[in-house]
């Protein structure tokens, strides 16, 4: 199994944010994680990428237990991610942002770097080449010298995906990649994600609010409400599941 999450639990004080959540993800699959606000979706993602330490349960990625490992270790094992509130490095340009994710692969060290020389500059060239490759995939190469803060919101989201690809991940975690995008951009995004899975042989787990995107894009969907899994299945099954409809309609009637 590619990714197997079992009985994952996270508590914040008295609140159980994620309660005994289990999920499985196979290779070359786009998986959706949906649910109303505060359902615990981002908490799950943060545990998968190591930003939160789970209070219980296990996460096995490619036959290795990763829960409790530090974020950079998990990133190096092949898990890349983006953030719900875009977290690009605003004082680094687009190319440098992507290069950050490549850095750990190069075989150099600080002392060698201080002295300089061809080995270091060769490593740097290799980092640049790979970073430009990632930018090319998301059609961002012409913006490589721009600073993220000067780019439109949708483009910043793409830069974040390019940066997440930087470390050659096998699993890509996207936290609301379509938030704030216009319908046109959403279409482009969906096409891009499908192409990434196709070209790079990766799996994607994404969080999304809007049902139509998830139903359209994902092959398998998990539905969370108040930290608990209330359903999983194909888009068709999810669309017809009474519990899911109740969770979503329930939220609307709560709002009213």
Partner 1 sequence: MEYYTSVLMFGAISTIGTLGTFVLTGLTGLFSLGQAAFMAIGAYSAAMGVVRYNLPFAPAVILSVGIAVGLAYIIGYATLNLRQDYFALSTFGFGEAVRAVLTTSVQLTGGALGMTGIPKLTTGPLVVISLVVVVWLIRNVRVSRFGRECVALRLDETAAQAMGVDVFWRKMQVFMLGAALSAYAGALLAFYTSYAEPNMFGWMRSVEWIIMVFLGGRDSLTGALLGSFVLNTAPEVLRFASQMRTAIYCILILVTLNLRPRGLLGAWELSFSGIFGQRRSAVTRGGGSQHVS
Report the site for partner 1 in 137-176 (rule: CB under 8 A).
145, 147, 149, 163-164, 166-167
Binding mask 28-67 toward partner 1 (x if CB under 8 A, else -) reads ---------------------xxx----------------
256 binds partner 1 (CB under 8 A): no
Interface with partner 1: number of residues (CB under 8 A): 43
89 binds partner 1 (CB under 8 A): yes
Contact criterion met (CB below 8 Å) for 167 and 104: yes
How far apart are CB 133 and partner 1 at their closest, in Å?
16
Nearest to 32 by CA among 241, 240, 222, 177: 222
How far apart are CB 148 and partner 1 at their closest, in Å?
10
Contact criterion met (CB below 8 Å) for 7 and 21: yes
User: Per the structure block, which two tokens stand in for 17?
Assistant: 């944010």
Considering only 53, 104, 201, 245, the residue that binds partner 1 (CB under 8 A) is 104
How far apart are CB 191 and partner 1 at their closest, in Å?
25
Site residues (vs partner 1, CB under 8 A): 49-51, 70-72, 75-76, 80-81, 83, 87-93, 95-96, 99-101, 103-104, 106, 108, 110, 113-116, 120, 123-124, 127, 145, 147, 149, 163-164, 166-167
């Amino acid at each position: 199994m590619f990714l197997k999450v079992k009985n994952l639990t996270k508590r914040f004080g008295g609140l159980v944010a994620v309660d005994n959540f289990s999920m499985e993800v196979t290779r070359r699959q786009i998986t959706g994680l949906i649910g109303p606000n505060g359902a615990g979706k981002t908490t799950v993602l943060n545990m998968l990428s190591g930003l939160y330490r789970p209070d219980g349960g296990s996460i096995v990625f490619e036959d290795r237990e990763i829960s409790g490992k530090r974020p950079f270790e998990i990133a190096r094992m092949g898990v890349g991610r983006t953030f719900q509130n875009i977290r690009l490095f605003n004082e680094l340009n687009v190319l440098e942002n992507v290069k950050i994710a490549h850095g750990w692969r190069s075989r150099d060290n600080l002392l060698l770097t201080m002295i300089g020389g061809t080995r270091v500059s060769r490593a740097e060239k290799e980092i640049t080449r790979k970073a430009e490759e990632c930018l090319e995939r998301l059609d961002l190469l012409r913006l490589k010298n721009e600073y993220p803060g000067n780019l439109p919101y949708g483009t910043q989201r793409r830069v974040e995906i390019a940066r997440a690809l930087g470390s050659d991940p096998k699993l890509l975690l996207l936290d609301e990649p379509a938030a704030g995008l216009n319908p046109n951009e959403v279409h482009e995004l969906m096409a891009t994600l499908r192409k990434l899975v196709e070209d790079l042989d990766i799996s994607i787990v994404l969080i999304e609010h809007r049902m139509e995107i998830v139903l359209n894009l994902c092959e398998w969907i998990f539905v969370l409400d108040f930290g608990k899994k209330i359903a999983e299945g194909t888009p068709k099954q999810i669309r017809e599941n009474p519990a899911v409809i109740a969770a979503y309609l329930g939220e609307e009637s709560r709002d009213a």
